[in-house]
């Protein structure tokens, strides 16, 4: 049954503030990282309640640079970082980009997040950090993870790519570990088009991050005078040569530009409204999803948390008489855009074949990788759209019972 309704997966709402700032940037001719990027960093840090924020080119870069900071604190290439087996592939790729070895732990099927009960078994003398992912905006079990990390003297880094608006025991995602990486991609609640940002309370980490995003240069000031005005910098020649061409570490080329920051500043100005709309959409569906059990399942919001409204995950149940592809095709035919719910990286993603894991090693992640999908709950949708989604799901399940 086809209708005229269309529920796209994601969107970006470009605010009037962003349009004005973009025009100002174009008129100025100063497009590279400058005062708007710094302003965006300050406002994002304030949103999370962090002391520092460092904006970069992509969410994947954000995770990669977080991990690369470890080299300044004794880590060596090939050391290990523990991550969940299920996530968008960027999580695992970032570990490799940073020069480390990903060590995978299966997920809790009820939360879709790393199972803390599996972490201690994979810790070795090479383990440097645990990096939980708040998948679909549902916070990982951070108390349990931090307890293990403290026992073994490990860093805790949050992959908070999808966790805008997420709360865990009253604290926002991004303020639950030593550092956190957010994605600012189009479909996310705060977006710069592309882009990523790292938050931390550790000023030393932030200085290293600012160096890493610019080729590992020695200049790592929070505000760059040269970027802002091409004016005089008293620190520029303090080492007898131009500090901009002294490199202290292996770095990256990952700066955010002024046009992206302008988009982000508009998104931050509209953040409360966007969050409220997306939360209302997600909450509406979660409160009514039990009717589809045992054929379909989703995450549940617990008393200790607030799920960040990134998207709605749907997992086809083991008792269902239909496949994920059957469901996705039906939703698409009825105007509801879908995405698969990622893959079990170590066993279902070819880029990790070299790690040597065998199918069956991460059963929960593998099940979701084969049977999970997600759909949008973004701010350009409303409760009428959410009810339409529920109606379509109900019709589909009804058609499969005959």
Q: How does pLDDT run across 62-72, given as a tens digit for each residue? A: 999 999 999 99
Share of the chain above pLDDT 90, in %: 87
- Alpha carbons within 13 A on the beta-carbon side of 206: 19
Residues 6+ apart with CB under 8 A from 65: 54, 56, 98, 181, 198, 209, 212, 213, 252, 254
Q: For all residues of the chain together, what is the average pLDDT?
A: 93
Torsion, Cα 353 350 58 201, to 10 degrees, reads -40
**In CATH, what class is 271-400?**
alpha beta
Domain 16-268 classification at class level: alpha beta
* 226 pLDDT more than 80: no
CA atoms within 13 A on the CB side of 369: 22
pLDDT in tens, 359-392: 999 999 999 999 999 999 999 999 999 999 999 9
Is there a common fold for 16-268 and 271-400? Answer: no
pLDDT at 127: 98
Contact 289, 298 (CB under 8 A): yes
Give 268-324 pLDDT, tens digit per residue. 999 999 999 999 999 999 999 999 999 999 999 999 999 999 999 999 999 999 999
Report how far residue 265's alpha carbon sits from residue 258's, in angstroms, rounded to the nearest whole number. Answer: 10
Mean pLDDT of all residues in 168-177:
98
Query: Where residue 217 falls among pLDDT bands split at 50, 70, 90?
Result: confident
Work out the angle between the directed axes of helices 324-333 and 383-400 (0-180°, nearest 10): 130
| Helices then strands, each counted (H, E), the chain | 13, 16
CB atoms < 10 A from the CB of 287, how many?
Answer: 9
Backbone angles phi, psi at 130, to 5 degrees: -115, 135
Contact in structure between 25 and 262 (CB atoms under 8 Å): yes
Task: Tell me the sheet residues that pair with 305.
Answer: 168
What is the tens place of the pLDDT at every residue in 90-124?
A: 999 999 999 999 999 999 999 999 999 999 999 99
What CA–CA distance (Å, rounded) separates 261 from 277?
23
Domain boundary assignment for the chain: 16-268, 271-400
In this predicted structure, the answer to whether residue 233 has a pLDDT above a threshold of 70 is: no
What is residue 234's predicted lDDT score, i.e. its pLDDT? 67
Alpha-carbon span 298 to 290, nearest angstrom: 9
């Amino acid at each position: 049954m086809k209708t005229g309704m269309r529920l796209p997966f994601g969107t970006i709402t470009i605010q009037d503030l962003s349009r004005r700032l973009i025009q100002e940037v174009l008129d100025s001719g100063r497009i590279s990282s400058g005062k708007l990027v710094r302003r965006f960093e300050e406002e994002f840090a304030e949103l999370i309640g962090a002391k520092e924020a460092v904006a970069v080119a992509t969410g994947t870069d954000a995770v990669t640079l977080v991990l690369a900071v470890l080299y300044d604190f004794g880590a060596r290439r090939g050391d290990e970082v523990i991550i969940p087996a299920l996530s968008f592939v960027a999580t695992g790729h970032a570990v490799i980009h940073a020069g480390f070895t990903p060590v995978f732990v299966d997920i809790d099927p009820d939360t879709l997040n790393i199972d803390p009960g599996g972490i201690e078994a994979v810790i070795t003398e090479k383990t440097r950090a645990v990096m939980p992912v708040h998948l679909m905006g549902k916070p990982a079990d951070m108390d349990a993870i931090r307890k293990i990390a403290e026992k073994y003297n490990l860093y805790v880094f949050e992959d908070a790519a999808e966790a805008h608006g997420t709360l865990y025991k009253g604290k926002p995602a991004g303020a639950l570990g030593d550092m956190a990486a957010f994605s600012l991609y189009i479909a996310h609640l705060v977006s710069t088009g592309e882009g990523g940002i790292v938050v931390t309370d550790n000023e030393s980490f932030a200085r290293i991050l600012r160096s890493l995003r610019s080729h590992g240069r020695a200049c790592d000031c929070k505000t760059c005078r040269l970027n802002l005005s091409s004016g005089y910098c008293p620190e520029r020649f303090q080492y007898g040569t131009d500090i901009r061409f002294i490199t202290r570490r292996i770095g990256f080329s990952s700066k955010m530009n002024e046009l992206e920051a302008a988009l982000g500043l508009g998104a931050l100005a509209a953040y409360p409204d966007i969050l409220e709309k997306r939360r209302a959409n997600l909450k509406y569906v979660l409160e009514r999803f039990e009717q589809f059990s045992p054929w379909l399942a989703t995450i549940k919001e617990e008393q200790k948390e607030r799920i960040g409204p990134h998207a709605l995950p749907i997992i086809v149940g083991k008792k269902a008489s239909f496949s994920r592809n059957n469901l996705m095709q039906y939703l698409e035919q009825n105007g509801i855009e879908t995405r698969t719910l990622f893959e079990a990286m170590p066993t279902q993603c070819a880029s990790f074949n070299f790690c040597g894991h065998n199918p069956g090693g991460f059963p929960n992640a593998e099940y979701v990788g084969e049977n999970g999908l997600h759909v949008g709950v973004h701010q350009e949708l409303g409760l009428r759209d959410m009810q339409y989604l529920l109606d379509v799901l109900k019709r589909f399940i009804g058609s499969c019972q005959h």
